[in-house]
Amino acid sequence: MGNWLVNHWFSAAVLAAWLGINVFLFTYYFLFFDQDERYYYTRAILGSALAWARASAKCLNFNSMLILLPVCRNLLSFLRGTCSCCRRTLRKQLDHNLTFHKLVAYALALFTAVHTIAHLFNLERYNDSQQATDGSLAAVLSKMHLQNSNKWLNPIHSNQTVSTVEYVAFTTIPGLTGVIITLALILMVTSSTEFIRRNYFEVFWYTHHLFIIYFAGLVIHGIAGLVRGQTEASMEEVHPRRCAEYLVHNHKECRHECCKNPEFSSIPAEVGRQWGGTGAVGGVVMHPARVLELQMQKKGFRMEVGQYIFVNCPAISLLEWHPFTLTSAPEEDFFSIHIRAAGDWTERIIDTFQQQKPEMPRIEVDGPFGTASEDVFQYEVAMLVGAGIGVTPFASILKSIWYKFQQADQTLKTKKIYFYWLCRDTGAFAWFNDLLASLEQKMAESGKADFLTYRLFLTGWDTSIANNAALHYDTATDTVTGLRHKTIFGRPMWNAEFSAVATAHPRSVVGVFLCGPGALAKDLQKFCHQHSSLDPRKVKFYFNKENF
């Protein structure tokens, strides 16, 4: 036993962690959907089958994420290379990759069976409730579509018994993709038996490429959102624990607030990027140079400086997800992104929010995800370089510093920040000016005016702008930005900038952070190497680049 542990302890630890995560996910989401009051009315129709379907779906998501990792050859080669200095027994655990791949596949088969059976029960109960005339809560809820077509809870809207369940199962997006996913998984699992692999390898090989169809179906499986729950706004007005009896008894001339019908919306899709949930847009600000700022409510959303999220706007495209850096600080009670017009999708989302409709479009959010910028407060000295809209991660950092000063945070390790922003046109500066102006004032009031040194570079301009700037050069504020620091026309001389920082901080470790193009990254990385001393007691520059 001791020898087995010496050779297989890492495999045992991975297996235990995998099993533990599956048990946790299933238990947590089963209890969530079985007890959460937003799904009180849904459970009135479906019973515990709702929790079985949703909990197994969460485990399906997790294992679908893992299934390809053990068979990624380049990944395995990379891991072997990074573990080349490790003990032989540790590296040898990578040889069990196919065993783990099979275990995950068996788990997928098990959870698919549970998920499918649970939804078959759900469809049957939807159908029974639709046809019921006994005045029960389930029957009343199933006929709410007759009063308002947008406030339905039961996806089966017909009283006809002819193939109603089969119609929903084979003609809706969730039903049809569910059938396709299940068939693809059955074919892949059955063709992977040892007999077929050894005697009919081509059958195994080509059938296994159905994983493309499997993942494609998985992505769009939950788009239609047939299973619904009560909306948050409706919960506040007509809470189910308080108002369910009014739906059943249907009091005439009722003036109680509970006489309002509850409203329902789709449960977020189980497949796809939904970790952040739905971002309720709380504020929309249109900045110059067609830069849109979206401020979203921060319910259950945790972030750090410099992180990013993926954003989807179903009103524009159901399948397109785009990454955006968070421009808000962790200390704020909302999170925000800035979107610059730079393509068809960004143009459409800006136009959509500019229309000022009574009801703002829904935004789906996935994240947040970590980036190199999170480490900025680990350095005593930091150089932040943003190009164009690439300034967004540094907006979050500078805002956070502002709040830290307001709160007199004594744990702030950073003593000096150099901020460089390169822009092609003057309009791009406008949305960031207020933040820089506030920082200037706050740091001057707190006696730390030297904490932040920023330099703004205008890389594209016409003669009139340059002449106007030269004419008013002696004024207290810059004519382009209105800030205390003057705008510099042209590009930075990075060799001089790095030399100045190295001279000012001869014994410091300087973190250089870039959000910008690859060509600029190469230049900065080169200067980091040139100006770093081999002497551990002298200055060193560490380069960090944002990558989505």
The number of beta carbons lying within 10 Å of the beta carbon of residue 322 is: 17
The Cβ of residue 280 has, within 10 Å, a number of other Cβ atoms equal to 16
Contact in structure between 45 and 125 (CB atoms under 8 Å): yes
- Distance between CA atoms of residues 138 and 126, nearest Å: 9
Which of 214, 182, 41 is closest to 114 using CA atoms?
Answer: 182
Please say whether the beta carbons of 44 and 141 come within 8 A.
yes
In 3D, which of 211, 215, 250, 257 has the Cα closest to residue 235? 257
Burial of 175 (0-12, 13-18, 19+ CB in 10 A): buried
Do residues 414 and 377 make contact, with C-beta atoms less than 8 angstroms apart?
Answer: yes
Name the nearest CA neighbour of 486 among 504, 505, 465.
465
Contacts of residues 522-527 at CB distance under 8 Å and 24 or more positions apart, as own/partner, are 523/494, 524/385, 524/494, 527/494, 527/495, 527/498
In this prediction, residue 79 carries a pLDDT of 66
pLDDT tens readout for residues 203-232: 888 888 888 888 888 888 877 677 888 777
Alpha helices in 472-505 (DSSP H): 494-504
Which of 271-275's residues contact partners 24+ apart within 8 Å by CB, and which partners?
271/57, 271/60, 271/61, 271/64, 271/218, 271/219, 271/221, 271/222, 272/219, 272/222, 272/366, 273/310, 273/312, 273/321, 273/364, 273/366, 273/367, 274/364, 274/366, 275/366, 275/367
Task: Using alpha carbons, select from 311, 300, 297 the residue that is nearest to residue 364.
Answer: 311
Scored b (16 or more CB within 10 A) or e, 513-526 reads bbbbeeebbebbbe
Give 409's Cβ-side CA count (13 Å radius). 14
Residues of the chain scoring pLDDT < 70: 1-8, 73-95, 145-150, 158-165, 224, 233, 250-259, 267-282, 288-289, 356-358, 370, 372, 389, 408-410, 425-435, 446-447, 449, 460-487, 546-548
Rg (CA), the chain: 29
Closest Cα to residue 279, out of 289, 268, 291?
A: 268
Structure tokens at 136: 């029960």
Two structure tokens written together for 15 = 């297996």
- Supply the pLDDT for residue 273: 43
Please report, as a single letter, which amino acid is at residue 508: S
Position 271 scores a pLDDT of: 36
pLDDT of residue 247: 72
- The Cα–Cα gap between 317 and 345 comes to 8
The most distant pair of C-alpha atoms in the chain lies apart, rounded to whole Å, by 86
Residue reference for tokens 């396709």 = 180
**Peptide bond before residue 368 is cis, with ω within 30 degrees of 0:** yes
Structural domains of the chain in order of their starting residue, each with its CATH number: 2-172+224-266 (no CATH), 277-370 (2.40.30.10), 374-545 (3.40.50.80)
What lies within 8 Å, CB to CB, of 3 at 6+ separation is: none
Alpha helices in 280-391 (DSSP H): 344-354
The DSSP H or E segment spanning 156 is none
Task: Give, to the nearest 10 degrees, the angle between helix 173-190 and helix 211-220.
Answer: 160
The span from the CA of 494 to the CA of 400, in Å, is 27
Calculate ∠ Cα 279-285-289, nearest 5°.
120
Structure tokens at 445: 């009031």
Task: Count the helix, strand and coil residues of the chain and give each as a percent rounded to the nearest 5.
Answer: 55, 15, 30
Q: Are 94 and 77 in contact (CB under 8 A)?
A: no
